[in-house]
Every structure is written in C-alpha cells, then in structure tokens.
Amino acid sequence: MPQSFDLIGPDTVRAAARRIAGDVRRTPLMRVPGPALGVAVEALWLKLEHLQISGSFKARGMFNRMRSLPIPPAGVVVASGGNAGIAVATAARALGVPCEVYLPELASAAKRQALAALGATVVVGGAAYADALAACLQRQQATGALLMHAYDQAEVVAGAGTLAAEIEEQAGLPDRVLVSVGGGGLIAGIAAWFASRTRVEAVEPEGAPTLHAARAAGEPVDVAVGGLAADALGARRIGAFAWPLCQAHVAAAHLVTDNAIRQAQSDLWRHLRLAVEPAAALPLAALQSGLVEPHATERIALVLCGANFDPATLAG
C-alpha cells in the first residue's frame, strides 16, 4: 500500500472539505476558561464535533469516500463499533443507497438503535471489532458492495482531516491539539493537516492502547480491547494509514484510566452541559490527570469527537 504521505496531505484535506461541504456541519469551536474544567490554563478550545451530523466526526470521512467513488447497486458495507456505522448509514440514506453494518457484540444499545432508525441492515459479526471486520469482508466479496472502513482508507482519513482545517480557520493555529485514538483515522487526518506545525498528542484508554503499543514495539501490533470507551475506540491495532503519519507528526501518546474518562465526561456535562460519549472525554481526562502539563498561556484544542451514547448514564 502507498505511504500515507503519498495519498493524504493538506491538498487532499482541502479537496475533501470542498467535496463534503454540503453534507456535513461546520461544528463550533467553543472557548472555555481552563479553571472551569479543573485545568490550569487561561482557556481551552473545545471542538464540538459531537454536534456533527451522525453524532461524530466519522461523517466527514464516510461522505468523502462515498462522494469520491462509484457506488455499486449492492450499496455500501462497513464493520463498526457504532460511530462509523452510524456515519455510513447516515451518508447512505442521504445518497439513497443500501447499507449493511457489521457490529461487534460490545456495541452499545444506543448505537444499535440509531442504526435501525437510519434503515441500515445490522448484523452482529462477533465479539470484537476485528471479528465484525472479518465477517464484513466476507460479505463484501460476496455482494460487491463498496467497502467502507471505520478508519483505514485514504478518503476516510482525509475527510477526518477537514476537522483540523476548521479549527485553524476558526481560531488560528493552536499550540497543542489533543485527540482520542482508536484505529487512528481521526488523529491521522489531523496530523496530515497540521504536519508538525503544531503539537498533536494522542490520548488512548488504558484498555485499548493501539498507538501506545505500536510506539513501544516500533510497528503496529495487536492489543487486547476492553474498557469504558471500547465501543468507539475498540480497534485491535493502529491503522496502516495512521501509523506513518503518527510517527512523523504526533508528539506523544497518553494512556488514561476509565475513572479519569468517566470524571471528564461527567465534568463536561455538569459544568458545560456538553453531553459527549466516553471516547470524546479522553482529551480532557489527559489534562485533568496531569498527563499533559501545558503552560498557562498555551492555546489548547480538545476534539470532542462523538455523542452516540445513552445520555441517561450522565448524572448531575
């Protein structure tokens, strides 16, 4: 496969932004005093991507791939822990094409319900994301549907990068950007856009450390998957597109505990009434845990990547 640098960069991100402009939302960038969230900086910039169509950043990449390639009569097929499937189903409904989504057993009830409401055909394809992906690939070979990958396709990564372009347009170049990582499509797109012009840092749950493990091993490796954010960040290894971009442009990879994630998610709700899923709370959790220690005047952007969860689980 060609290197990420050959396929994804600022020019491809700009092209993706033009291609999907009529399909996705330009989500707000919210300035919040750092002390309001227990962080010793003057302000944090929260990219409210949980307000994106389909409830997560994934819509950007899925619309970009479906707008870039011909779609066969069989439509599209994807394996997903939930957010990518919802994004594909949203795009498929908008474009009027059939959609099949293969879910792992750990996918939340809220995400299953969202898929059903969008008219997708839902199939439970095994215990973990990797199992659902294997079932999905078999189905794609049988039907000829356009394969949509949750994070490891050039069009998907470039589409995710449009989020970073928006941050820069909205508030200039931040000093630091903190990004949740599962398979790496989001951070790869962000890294492709910023290309070391700012400090991009990854945040992963301890229960699914794909990038952290790859950095330790010097190459992508399989990891066990579990924990609070596994339904959204449940990839077994970092993506082939993400890995070289992360090597070149991601400065650090932090691991946060489930307790820290839950606290950050609760604080975003209690203090700001921002209802985000656990995966979206990781960047704040890294700051609150002291894993990231910024200067008081740093301009820090946090990507709140999704909101596909049951809001009844929030307290306060």
Question: pLDDT at position 256, please?
Answer: 96
pLDDT (tens digit, 9 = 90+) per residue, 192-204?
Answer: 999 989 999 999 9
Question: pLDDT at position 113, please?
Answer: 83
Per domain, the residue ranges of the chain are 4-57+154-313, 58-148
Domain 4-57+154-313 matching CATH 1.10.3470.10: the answer reads no
CATH code reported for the domain at 58-148: 3.40.50.1100
The radius of gyration of the chain's CA atoms, rounded to the nearest angstrom, is 18
Phi, psi of 49 (to 5 degrees): -75, -10
pLDDT (tens digit, 9 = 90+) per residue, 35-86?
Answer: 999 999 999 999 999 999 999 999 999 999 999 999 999 999 999 877 899 9
Write the DSSP assignment of the chain as a string of letters. Answer: ---HHHH-SHHHHHHHHHHHTTTS----EEEEEGGGGT-SSSEEEEE-GGGSGGGBTHHHHHHHHHHHS---TT-EEEE-SSHHHHHHHHHHHHHT--EEEEE-TTS-HHHHHHHHHTT-EEEE--SSHHHHHHHHHHHHHHH-PEEE-SS-SHHHHHHHHHHHHHHHHHH---SEEEEE-SSSHHHHHHHHHHTTSSEEEEEEETT--HHHHHHHHTS-------STTTTTS--SS--TTHHHHHHHHEEEEEEE-HHHHHHHHHHHHHHH-----GGGGHHHHHHHTTSS---TT--EEEE--B--S-GGG---
Phi, psi of 213 (to 5 degrees): -65, -40
Question: pLDDT at position 36, please?
Answer: 95
Question: pLDDT at position 232, please?
Answer: 56
β-strands 43-47, 29-33 pairing: antiparallel
Asked whether this chain's domains 4-57+154-313 and 58-148 adopt the same fold, the reply is yes
Per-residue pLDDT of the chain (316 residues; tens, 9 = 90+): 445 556 799 999 999 999 999 999 999 999 999 999 999 999 999 999 999 999 999 999 999 999 999 999 999 999 987 789 999 999 999 999 999 999 988 777 877 888 889 999 999 888 887 888 899 999 999 999 999 998 999 999 999 999 999 999 999 999 999 999 999 999 999 999 999 899 999 999 998 899 999 999 999 998 877 766 666 566 778 999 999 999 999 999 999 999 999 999 999 999 999 999 999 999 999 999 999 999 999 999 999 999 877 787 776 6
Quick check: 239 and 223 in contact, CB under 8 A? no
